[in-house]
Amino acid sequence: MKTRYTFGGDEHVYVEIDDEMSLDAFFKSLSMSNAVRAANIDGVTEICPANASFQVRFDPDVISPDAMMGRLKEFEQVAVNAEKRLKTRIVEIPVFYEDPWTHETLMRFRERHQDPNGSDLEYAARSNGYDTVADFITAHHSQPWFVSMVGFVAGLPFLYQLVEREKQLQVPKYLRPRTDTPKHTVGYGGCFSCIYSVRGAGGYQMFGITPMPIYDPEGSVSYLKDFMVFFKPGDIVKWKPITRGEYDAITDAVEAGTYQPRIAEVDFDLDEFNADMRGTNAKMLEALNDA
């Protein structure tokens, strides 16, 4: 894993830990970006973490680009020796798979898809060697996911599957992006799942929809009154399949201000996870079930 440092114009330095996503790269990126933040370097105006990288924006009138680059490189050894442990939370996210709204949308954009004659889930199941859509859906929701970054649009989480690399689901994005995606769509592209926080354009495969808002700039959702964005990097997600009736009931509860997501506080240790992935997942899921 060789870290790459590049300039982005006169005001940015981009630090790429690895050219592919891994939890090791995520933890190193997180440690480095946290160290930069704690250092309070004169001239730094913004630190933006991503899946396996981060970018720093700075004022070149306060600190020169070369000096900024040099300061950032000082933090790499700190990150290598950093503890790979997080106090975080596991959250249950209800998902209505094969819902009518994303199905109507995906059918409007079949000419932009690799398989114009099927659905996104049918294509994803076949691409990953599953005999049925139901089997693929089970693979999608049966193990937890790690939120590696939040962005692209406000509040949108990128989620990385907590299984062995050879068992990770892989689905390419649409050949050409759609101009429409329903709000709260559960999507998939490459090795990442996501939740579209707002309605808009998108290119990820569409699997279902959640009734649980994850972004609320108006402050009307009861569990989002402290902060408008629900997710933060390091959160862990367990998808929960629900029926149309359950979807409607949760939607009503959100509108009434009575819905509360199921959440449990957990410790995530990367070394323990790498040594026993299924055991670590089972422990976190047990904590969620007890919440």
pLDDT at res. 291: 86
**275 burial level (CB within 10 Å; 0-12, 13-18, 19+):** exposed
pLDDT at res. 100: 98
Torsion sign over Cα 93, 99, 104, 110: positive
pLDDT at res. 221: 96
Percent of the chain with pLDDT over 70: 99
Mean pLDDT across 72-82: 81
Intrachain domains 4-82 and 87-290 with the same fold = no
- Domain segments of the chain as ranges: 4-82, 87-290
pLDDT at res. 121: 98
Measured CA distances, 44 to 13, 36, 190 (Å): 11, 9, 33
Percent of the chain with pLDDT over 90: 84
Which positions ≥6 away from 227 have C-beta within 8 Å? none
Task: Report how far Cα 246 is from the mean position of its chain's Cα atoms.
Answer: 24
Which of the listed CATH numbers 3.30.420.10, 3.40.50.10330, 2.40.100.10, 2.40.50.140 matches domain 87-290? 2.40.100.10
- Split at pLDDT 50, 70, 90, the class of 202 is very high
How do residues 104-113 score in pLDDT, each as one tens digit?
999 999 999 9
pLDDT at res. 157: 97
Torsion sign over Cα 119, 121, 124, 126: negative
Q: What is the pTM of this model?
A: 0.91
> Which of 181-188's residues contact partners 24+ apart within 8 Å by CB, and which partners?
181/102, 181/105, 181/206, 182/101, 182/102, 182/105, 182/206, 182/209, 184/209, 184/210, 184/211, 184/212, 184/213, 184/214, 185/102, 185/105, 185/209, 186/95, 186/97, 186/210, 186/239, 188/124, 188/140
How do residues 216-267 score in pLDDT, each as one tens digit?
999 999 999 999 999 999 999 999 999 999 999 999 999 999 999 999 999 9
pLDDT at residue 82 tops 80: no
Q: What is the mean pLDDT of the chain?
A: 94
Which of the listed CATH numbers 3.30.1360.40, 3.40.50.150, 3.90.1280.10, 3.40.50.300 matches domain 4-82? 3.30.1360.40
pLDDT at residue 1 tops 80: no
Contact 196, 185 (CB under 8 A): yes
